[in-house]
Amino acid sequence: MTQGIPKSVRDALANKRSAEQHPSPDLLNGHVEHSLSATEKAGVMRHLSVCEDCREVVFLASAASENSDAVIPGPADTWRGWKWLVPAVALLTLVSSVLVERPKLFAPRPAAMQAANHQADALPSQTAGSQAATENQTNALMFSPAPQAAPNQQEQIRANLTSRNKTSAQDEVAAAAGAKQTPSETREALADLAKAAPSLPPSSPPVIARNAAVTSSAATAAAAPLQAAAGQAPSARAFGAVGQSSLQSMKKAAAPSGISGDASYRPLTIRSHWRITDEGHLERSLAGDNWTQVLADQPIRFRAVAVVGNDVWAGGNNGALFHSIDGGEHWAQAVLSADGHPETGAVVSIHFDTVSQGSVLTETGSKWITSDRGQSWNK
């Protein structure tokens, strides 16, 4: 303010008088506390501009207010109002990290998962940087606890599976959703796996499926070679195949108990999990560790199970092969026979590329192929 107002203006201001009545203390207080409406505020301001007494009242009331010593921050001091932000963000981060980590630290962990993790840590060729490989290893170990005889082959197979899962995100999504793999991709996978896993010698000991959990066609595609690889170990009890989608389902099921904290897993629909116990019982789990035996009335010692979408295939001794098209609710027995000679060897591997195309391996080395969803089988 380099210069004031002209004397004529000063005189005119001093001589101005309001024709209106003085505002009530209620209005003046509302003006001081900025609680008036726009209309009321304009009216009071108009009166204050010409009434010295009311100006005096509002200034005295304002000075007598409780926060009269408060300093109104100016534009240059604006940043000071945000000083609390830094400790607040730090505190928020700390609290959120504690809340996220707490379930992991204190939640009870299933014994099977703990054992699998211990074995995964013990693997010499495990690469720490590959999260997917670690998950696959852990998952595979969880369902095949005795890979001592052929660890290198199994790791190679898992590496192939991991690379396939990594390079084809769409395949992964399709597998997770239970979609069908294209035959060409399946052939590639089989070719890769065949390179990694040598063919199963006919004289190898019988493969007993245990803890098989198959939830997708991609997992099914890997089932046979993995079984073959695991079957070379004399002490191995063999295992069913577990694919990426199965892993995701398991992670999803385990997430509430704090086992998995990986947030990158996409939510999946609840799907059934399948396994075969040491006693050869076929069991199903819809969620968690709640397993229910199915086909309990059949005097069959099951040794292989495969899942393609809602189709479930389970095979056991004496060439027994059962098929369910509704996720295991209802079952029908398929007959493996050629020229009137039924199959007598135990089914050790079931492999389906699509819902309708698949093959079955028996312990006698026979391979049965179907291309019409099990309506007919050719040797």
Partner 1 sequence: MYEAAYKIAHDEATARALADSIYAELYGVGQRGELRTSKLYYYLGRGSLAGWLRTVVAQEYINQYRRTRRETSLEKAIEDGKQFGAVEPAENPPSDARLAVATASELDALDAQDRFLLAAYYLDGRTLAEIAKLLRVHESTISRKLDRAATGLRKRIRKRLIAAGMTTRQAEEAIQDVDVRDLPVNIRETLGQATQEASFYKEKGAEQG
Token pair 């209309």 in the structure block, residue: 39
Which stretch, 4-12, 115-123, 226-234, 249-257, contacts partner 1 (CB under 8 A)? 4-12
Which residue's CB is nearer to partner 1, number 49 or number 96? 49
Q: Which helix (H) or strand (E) holds 283?
A: strand 282-285
> Which two structure tokens, joined as six digits, stand for 199?
């063919």
Q: How many CB atoms lie within 10 A of CB 377?
A: 20
Which stretch, 18-26, 142-150, 209-217, 366-374, contacts partner 1 (CB under 8 A)? 18-26
Site for partner 1 contains 285 (CB under 8 A):
no
**Rounded CA gap, 65 and 63, in Å?**
6
Q: Looking only at residues 68 through 127 of this chain, which bind partner 1 when binding is defined by CB under 8 A?
A: 68, 72-75
DSSP strand pairing (321-324 vs 311-316): antiparallel
Spatial neighbors of 299 by CB under 8 A, at least 6 apart, are none
Which residue's CB is nearer to partner 1, number 42 or number 91? 42
Site for partner 1 contains 38 (CB under 8 A):
no
* The one among 19, 38, 64, 105 contacting partner 1 by CB under 8 A: 64
Look at phi and psi of residue 19 and say left if phi exceeds 0, alpha if psi is from -120 to 50, else beta: alpha
Which stretch, 26-34, 113-121, 167-175, 251-259, contacts partner 1 (CB under 8 A)? 26-34
R_g (Cα) of the chain, nearest Å: 38
Compute the least distance from the CB of residue 27 to partner 1, in Å: 6
Q: Looking only at residues 44 through 63 of this chain, which bind partner 1 when binding is defined by CB under 8 A?
A: 45-46, 48-50, 52-53, 55-63
Which residues pair with residue 322 across a beta bridge?
314, 333
Whether the Cβ atoms of residue 213 and residue 242 lie closer than 8 Å to each other: yes
Site for partner 1 contains 19 (CB under 8 A):
no
Q: Count the residues in the chain.
A: 379
Site for partner 1 contains 372 (CB under 8 A):
no
Which stretch, 67-75, 86-94, 206-214, 355-363, contacts partner 1 (CB under 8 A)? 67-75
* The one among 4, 87, 124, 267 contacting partner 1 by CB under 8 A: 4
Spatial neighbors of 159 by CB under 8 A, at least 6 apart, are 133
Site for partner 1 contains 300 (CB under 8 A):
no
Site for partner 1 contains 8 (CB under 8 A):
yes
**Rounded CA gap, 222 and 100, in Å?**
35
* The one among 18, 19, 20, 34 contacting partner 1 by CB under 8 A: 34
- Burial annotation 169-200 (CB, 10 A radius, 16+ → b, else e): eebbebbbebbbbeeebbeebbebbeebbeeb
| Edge-to-edge strands, sheet with 347-352 | 347-352, 358-362, 367-370
Compute the least distance from the CB of residue 105 to partner 1, in Å: 50
Which residue's CB is nearer to partner 1, number 26 or number 372? 26
Q: Looking only at residues 235 through 274 of this chain, which bind partner 1 when binding is defined by CB under 8 A?
A: none
Residues at the contact surface with partner 1, assessed by CB under 8 A: 1-14, 16, 24-30, 32-36, 40, 42, 45-46, 48-50, 52-53, 55-66, 68, 72-75
